[in-house]
Amino acid sequence: MPELPEVETVKAGIAPVMEGSVIARAEVNRPDLRWPFPERMAERLTGQRVLGLRRRSKYILVDLASAETLLIHLGMSGRMLVSGQMIGEFHHPHPAPAKHDHVVFHMENGARITFNDARRFGAMDLMETARQEDHWLIRDLGPEPLGNAFNETYLIDRLKGRNTPIKSALLDQRIVSGLGNIYVCEVLFRAGIHPARKAGRISAARVASLVPLIRDVLSEAIAAGGSSLRDYRQSDGELGYFQHVFQVYDRADKPCVTHGCGKTITRIVQSGRSSFFCPQCQR
Ligand SMILES: [Zn+2]
């Protein structure tokens, strides 16, 4: 499932072919994904110049000249493929239409961006750009983990007195938006905090230590995604799924990477999601 760094990578991959260009034709091949598409979506997109791309949490926001913004959510299995010829950039021949190609943006510059989603947990919606903060998927989101509003004081304040496990608190999108299961596991390992520890029972100093670790883990993954972008132009044009080395995530029964630790990584299930941690290094 794509998390914030993957979404950032997809955004960085489609931005060069979308920004400043006009959507010559938006091809919408079904009425819905996870939810129905907005009314007349194809018409509202066709002919619009793309002013810029942004990311909020795990959503890609495409600002249009019509003062509307297209929200794209990749869901569980959503994929973006870029094809076509751009001078000096890359050249992937347009692929034959495939099953699950639900939305295709035919750009005036000759590029094509295909949204393919086998499981259809993805979503697209249109909103007034000026009122994007009121959108139901956005209005309750906490601050961005890489933004200034997310800092030590804020996190200490938000976790104070909380009885929930720290793992669940960091996954709570109202506290910090865009953090998912994989990167929370990695952050807690680096912080040496057990995922089941009650959030309100962790010292302020240890809570504060989470903030730079969250930024580091996400920034490193975004950097890895950026490297994968330089490679994808030689591969098949698919964006956002890159190999990344994890220290605990999906490493159950493998040795802990801490020098001299000697224990193996444990997997437990919390709120229906797998947590991976070292029982020796994380307390
Ligand atoms: Zn260990």
pLDDT tens digits along 21-77: 999 999 999 999 999 999 999 999 999 999 999 999 999 999 999 999 999 999 988
Q: What does pLDDT average to over the chain? A: 91
| pLDDT for res 97 | 84
Instruction: Determine what percent of the chain is predicted with pLDDT higher than 70.
Output: 92
Q: How far apart are CA 3 and CA 242, in angstroms?
A: 12
Helices 204-232, 181-191: axis angle to 10 degrees equals 130
User: With 90 as the cut, is the pLDDT of residue 118 above it?
Assistant: no
Q: How far apart are CA 195 and CA 276, in angstroms?
A: 8
Query: Could you report how far apart the first and last alpha carbons of the chain are, in Å?
Result: 28
User: With 70 as the cut, is the pLDDT of residue 236 above it?
Assistant: no
Catalytic residue status for 5: no
Residues with CB under 5 A from ligand 1 (ion): 256, 258, 261, 263, 278, 280-281
| Closest of 218, 282, 175, 208 to residue 268, by C-alpha | 282
User: With 50 as the cut, is the pLDDT of residue 234 above it?
Assistant: no
Tell me the per-residue pLDDT of 129-179, one tens digit each, with 9 for 90 and over. Answer: 999 999 999 999 999 999 999 999 999 999 999 999 999 999 999 999 999
* Residue 81, both tokens: 């493929």
What residue has token string 């794209």? 72
Q: Of 25, 162, 267, 273, which is the active-site residue?
A: 273
Instruction: Compute, in angstroms, the gap from residue 204 CA to the centroid of ligand 1.
Output: 23
| pLDDT for res 244 | 72
Phi, psi angles (nearest 5°) of residue 248: -125, -35
| pLDDT for res 267 | 97
* Residue 97, both tokens: 């239409």
User: With 80 as the cut, is the pLDDT of residue 107 above it?
Assistant: yes
Q: Of 56, 58, 79, 190, which is the active-site residue?
A: 58
- The DSSP symbol for 93 reads P
Note whether 61 and 54 are within 8 A (CB). Answer: yes
Phi, psi angles (nearest 5°) of residue 35: -125, 160
Q: How far apart are CA 223 and CA 210, in angstroms?
A: 20
| pLDDT for res 143 | 97
Q: How far apart are CA 6 and CA 222, in angstroms?
A: 7
CA distances from 175 to 28, 29, 95, 127, 158 (A): 35, 36, 41, 24, 7
CB 164: neighbour CB atoms within 10 A?
17
User: With 70 as the cut, is the pLDDT of residue 237 above it?
Assistant: no
| pLDDT for res 98 | 84
User: With 60 as the cut, is the pLDDT of residue 235 above it?
Assistant: no
Q: How far apart are CA 164 and CA 143, in angstroms?
A: 20
Instruction: Compute, in angstroms, the gap from residue 223 CA to the centroid of ligand 1.
Output: 26
CB 9: neighbour CB atoms within 10 A?
26
Q: How far apart are CA 263 and CA 237, in angstroms?
A: 41
Note whether 40 and 33 are within 8 A (CB). Answer: no
Note whether 85 and 91 are within 8 A (CB). Answer: yes
